Structure 1
């Protein structure tokens, strides 16, 4: 029986309640995933449900000035406190071709807007382009607000005994004038994709133009 899906979930995208695994992963890669990284946060808390998260909702974006207008974003379904764990980022765990790969090997995830790096040294990533959970709808803050209110952080999945990527509300901050108040109910959850993400897409646009 297929898992229950969140409201506004696209029917053509498989909804995940646990990571999927690519055939590109070697035994070494799988062993690495089962090795706890230093200083990683333990998730999920015992009360976290396996399935649609009650903390978030997928919402179509209709604001004309929003960079993702006509698409969807992820919004808080309740008030979220600074530093609070929101949900895990699920998708296809894969390894990308590297210098040791056969000549001509193609990285099918290279052009994905949903691919997060989990282990740069081994080239392991999590791609939510073709399958995933609510976290795939998190947008970048640029063009929406002045600063992000959430972040991606590597974590240790306590249920599976496996490395993963989670989404947290940003902490309060050190400067009194810059203290964050978490994410209010109804606000969009926004992260920073990083300069590398936008730089790569700018290069593609220039090549195509």
Structure 2
């Protein structure tokens, strides 16, 4: 992601459920994270993020990237507490501005394509 990337949107946290207790948890530098099972029906819920597609078969490269970011307390959807702000999945333009009327394209990643059935 470029330091001059434009923030595009934050994906909402509605439509998720915690993963079963038997699922894996992971930790990083003393912090523990619970894995979530996402189930979002883009036909009936969401924002502009519903329109994001993989670049393969459409363009030579992605024009946007996903990033985990803490939502600042001034953000309208923020639910910050004294322990900090939650992390949300955000979308940024990758190298240059996304042109008006252009499709927002990302890389879904090898994991998506390797596990696609």
Is TM-score (shorter-chain normalized) higher than 0.5?
Answer: yes
Structure-1 residue corresponding to 2:65: 151
Structure-1 residue corresponding to 2:55: 141
Structure-1 residue corresponding to 2:79: 160
Instruction: Determine helix, strand or coil for the equivalent of 2:92.
Output: strand
Indicate if the aligned counterparts of 2:18 and 2:36 stay in contact, CA closer than 8 A: yes
The alpha carbon displacement at 1:141 in A equals 0.4
Structure-1 residue corresponding to 2:103: 188
RMSD: 2.3
The alpha carbon displacement at 1:96 in A equals 2.0
Count residues with an aligned counterpart.
Answer: 93
Pairing of 1:1-209 with structure 2 (within 5 A): 82-90=4-12, 91-97=14-20, 100=22, 121-124=33-36, 126-129=38-41, 131-158=45-72, 159-161=78-80, 162-170=86-94, 172=95, 181-201=96-116, 204=117
The alpha carbon displacement at 1:126 in A equals 4.6
Gaps of 5+ in 2: 24-31, 73-77, 81-85
Q: 1:199 to 1:152 in 2, by over 3 A?
A: same
Gaps of 5+ in 1: 1-81, 102-119, 173-180, 205-209
Q: Give the Cα–Cα distance (whole angstroms) in 2 for the partners of residues 127 and 133 of structure 1.
A: 15
Indicate if the aligned counterparts of 2:51 and 2:104 stay in contact, CA closer than 8 A: no
Structure-1 residue corresponding to 2:75: none
Indicate if the aligned counterparts of 1:92 and 1:132 stay in contact, CA closer than 8 A: no
Instruction: Determine helix, strand or coil for the equivalent of 2:10.
Output: strand
More helix by share: 1
Instruction: Determine helix, strand or coil for the equivalent of 1:153.
Output: strand
1:174-208, CA deviations, whole angstroms, 9 ceiling, x for partnerless residues?
Answer: xxxxxxx321112111001111111111xx2xxxx
Indicate if the aligned counterparts of 1:86 and 1:167 stay in contact, CA closer than 8 A: yes
1:26-46, CA deviations, whole angstroms, 9 ceiling, x for partnerless residues?
Answer: xxxxxxxxxxxxxxxxxxxxx
Q: Give the Cα–Cα distance (whole angstroms) in 1 for the partners of residues 71 and 37 of structure 2.
A: 16
Q: 1:131 to 1:148 in 2, by over 3 A?
A: same
The alpha carbon displacement at 1:142 in A equals 0.4
| Greater RCO, CA 8 A, separation 6+ | 2
Moved over 3 A (4+): none
More strand by share: 2
